[in-house]
């Protein structure tokens, strides 16, 4: 049973850098993409970006200039850094495992395992 355990600083001041890490336990790290998603208070889910075991990344264009996602395959971990945070970055941040493949002429894409979430508050 794959489990994701995430951690990181929960209170930041404006202009600081958010840093979170997600560790993968109980399953393979390679062969998947791993995502970060966030959810501001009372709002919906927003995808931040993803990385695979070899370090290939994709980012949400709206956050790309401030986001870095990295991987440490020796520890089965991946990390998120978001620079120059503001109050608008206050949210619960989740990590998740991506699954994706094509079957005949239709694509499958889903996130089947999620971390419990980390609340990050940006306040002066």
Partner 1 sequence: SSELTQDPAVSVALGQTVRITCQGDSLRSYYASWYQQKPGQAPVLVIYGKNNRPSGIPDRFSGSSSGNTASLTITGAQAEDEADYYCNSRDSSGNHRVVFGGGTKLTVL
Q: Is residue 109 within the footprint of partner 1 (CB under 8 A)?
A: yes
Contacts of 113 (CB under 8 A, 6+ apart): 2, 3, 4, 96, 97
| Closest-CA residue to 8 (of 111, 95, 114) | 95
Whichever of 60 and 121 has its CB closer to partner 1, that residue is: 60
Distance, in Å, from the CA atom of 36 to the CA atom of 92, rounded to the nearest integer, reads 11
Residue with smaller CB distance to partner 1, 15 or 109: 109
Shortest separation between residue 31's beta carbon and partner 1, angstroms: 17
- Residues in the site for partner 1, rule: CB under 8 A? 35, 37, 44-47, 50, 58, 60-61, 94, 98-100, 103, 106-112, 114-117
């Amino acid at each position: 049973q794959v489990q994701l355990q995430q951690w990181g600083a929960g209170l930041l001041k404006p202009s600081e850098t958010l840093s979170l890490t997600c560790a993968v336990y109980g399953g393979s790290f390679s062969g998947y993409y791993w995502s970060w998603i966030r959810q501001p208070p009372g709002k919906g889910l927003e995808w931040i970006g993803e990385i695979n075991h070899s370090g290939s990344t994709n980012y949400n264009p709206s956050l790309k200039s401030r986001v870095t996602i990295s991987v440490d395959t020796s520890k089965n971990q991946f990390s998120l850094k978001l620079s120059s945070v503001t109050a608008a970055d206050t949210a619960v941040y989740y990590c998740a495992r991506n699954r994706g493949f094509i079957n005949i002429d239709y694509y499958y894409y889903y996130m089947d395992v999620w971390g419990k979430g980390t609340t990050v508050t940006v306040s002066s």
